[in-house]
Amino acid sequence: MDASLFANLSSDPVHKGIPRTVEAFLALAGLVVLLPFFGLGALLVALSSPGPLLYRQERIGLHGRKFILYKFRSMRMTSSGLQVTAKNDDRITWAGRLLRKTKIDELPELWNVLRGDMSIVGPRPEVERYVDLNNSQWKQVLAVRPGITDPVTFSLRNEEELLGHVEGDLEQFYLETLQPLKLKGYIEYLRQRDAWSDVMIIVRTLFVILFPNKAPVFVSNS
């Protein structure tokens, strides 16, 4: 990605959420309190397929800066395949399906929050391939740190299942249908966010993880 484009990112003021110091404390507390689940995640990955326990991928973060995102590996080791994942993707291991369903695979992202790469609440970070810095919407989204959860992720919890029903070019559907919806949702939230709204998103996310049947289901007419 051309670094010269970073200077053209939106400088418009954005509404701040949970203070950075509070997020760092919450991330550190989460890393300690959730240690048993880290152990469970690591064990399941080790039993499911050969390869590293953690999945590392370069993503685009605040002001277009690249960073390495950490997750528990949920797929078999392969050098091929799309960067969007459908529910029926045969690269996903049996343990990976469980980790994704329970969101345990995303626990290592607390380390990204502690490092300052991410926030707890914020737009989900994308890979460089799917980021267009010439798009004004992307400029607004990249004016804040990406997050582990957000209202759009909450609404699109069934994204992988939705992608599994796509006929035709999966990547094209993602870029032309899902991503524009995500960008619109991110911007709408950022325009009115505050610390309390971020706290409520965290509470709602935890509720959906504990009671997945209560999660909203997104249906596309495309």
Please give the pLDDT value at position 208: 81
In a domain, residue 191? The reply is: yes
Share above pLDDT 90 across residues of the chain, in percent, rounded to a whole number: 61
The answer on pLDDT for 173 being more than 80 is yes
Please give the pLDDT value at position 188: 93
Write the pLDDT tens digit of every residue in 6-35. Answer: 455 444 556 789 999 999 999 999 999 999
How far apart CA 209 and CA 207 sit, in angstroms, is: 5
Write the pLDDT tens digit of every residue in 91-149. Answer: 899 999 999 988 999 999 999 999 999 999 999 999 999 999 889 999 999 999 999 99
Please give the pLDDT value at position 87: 65
In a domain, residue 222? The reply is: no
DSSP code string of 178-201: IHHHHHHHHHHHHHH--HHHHHHH
In a domain, residue 92? The reply is: yes
In a domain, residue 221? The reply is: no
Please give the pLDDT value at position 158: 62
In a domain, residue 77? The reply is: yes
Please give the pLDDT value at position 64: 94
Domain ranges, residue 71: 3-214
CB 173 within 8 A of CB 85: no
Please give the pLDDT value at position 6: 47
In a domain, residue 220? The reply is: no
Per the structure, the count of domains in the chain is 1
Q: Strand, helix or coil at 110?
A: helix
Please give the pLDDT value at position 84: 72
CA 156 to chain centre: 11
Comparison of pLDDT for 11 and 201, the residue scoring more: 201
Comparison of pLDDT for 221 and 181, the residue scoring more: 181
Give me the chain's average pLDDT, please: 85
Please give the pLDDT value at position 11: 47
* Tokens coding 139: 């400029």
In a domain, residue 149? The reply is: yes
Enter the pTM of the model: 0.85
In a domain, residue 21? The reply is: yes
The answer on pLDDT for 78 being more than 90 is no
pLDDT band at 58 (very low <50, low <70, confident <90, very high): very high
Tokens 């880290």, residue located: 38
Mean pLDDT of the region 32-40 = 96
Share above pLDDT 70 across residues of the chain, in percent, rounded to a whole number: 81
Please give the pLDDT value at position 222: 46
| Phi then psi dihedrals of residue 93, to 5 deg | -80, 170
